[in-house]
Amino acid sequence: MQLISSSYVSWIAFGLGLTVAICAATQEFFKFGDRWRHYRRIGETLKSEGWQYFQRSGPYRRFQTHLEGYPTFAARVEALFQGEVQIYLTEVAAERPGQESETPSSAGHPAERNGGPTRIGTPTMVTEVPRTDR
C-alpha cells in the first residue's frame, strides 16, 4: 500500500513540475506579463486623463466648458497613444538578442537586403519571356 501511494505522489509531483515548466516557457515566449503591464499602464493613463477632462482639473482647469477643452483632450490622448506605440515597439515587441527579423531597424541598409549596391531597384528573380513573333 505504501509503495503505491508513493508512486502516485512521484507522478503527481512530476506532472506538476512539468506543467509549471511549460507554463513558464509559454509565458516567456509570448511575453504575456510585459504585454499585460503595457496595456494596464495605457489603460490607467487614459482613465486618469479622462477623469481630469471630466472634472476639468489638471490641464483642463482653464476651460469653462468641456466643449472648449475637448481639442486639448483629444490632442493629449493622441499624444499618449503615439507615445505608447513607441514604447510597445521598442520595449514590449522588441526581439530578443539572437533573433533576426525583417524589420527596417534590424534588416540593415536596403542595398544589403537587395543583394548589394549594384542591384538596387532590380528584381531579385529575372526570367526571360520567350518571344512569339519569330
- Summarised one tens digit per residue, pLDDT across range 3-44 is 567 788 889 999 999 999 999 999 888 878 888 888 899 999
**Residue 38: inside a domain:** yes
**Residue 76: inside a domain:** yes
DSSP conformation letters of 19-65: HHHHHHHHHHHHTHHHHHHHHHHHHHHHHHHHHHHHHT-GGGTT-SS
**Residue 106: inside a domain:** no
**Residue 110: inside a domain:** no
**Residue 44: inside a domain:** yes
Total domain count, the chain: 1
**Residue 62: inside a domain:** yes
What per-residue confidence (pLDDT) applies to 97? Answer: 52
On the question of pLDDT at 70 being above 90, the answer is yes
The Cα–Cα gap between 22 and 111 comes to: 42
Q: Which domain range does residue 41 map to? A: 31-92
Of 88 and 19, the one with more pLDDT: 19
Which pLDDT tens digit goes with each residue over 90-120? 876 775 555 554 444 444 444 444 444 433 3
What proportion of the chain, given as a percentage, has pLDDT over 70?
A: 66
What proportion of the chain, given as a percentage, has pLDDT over 90?
A: 42
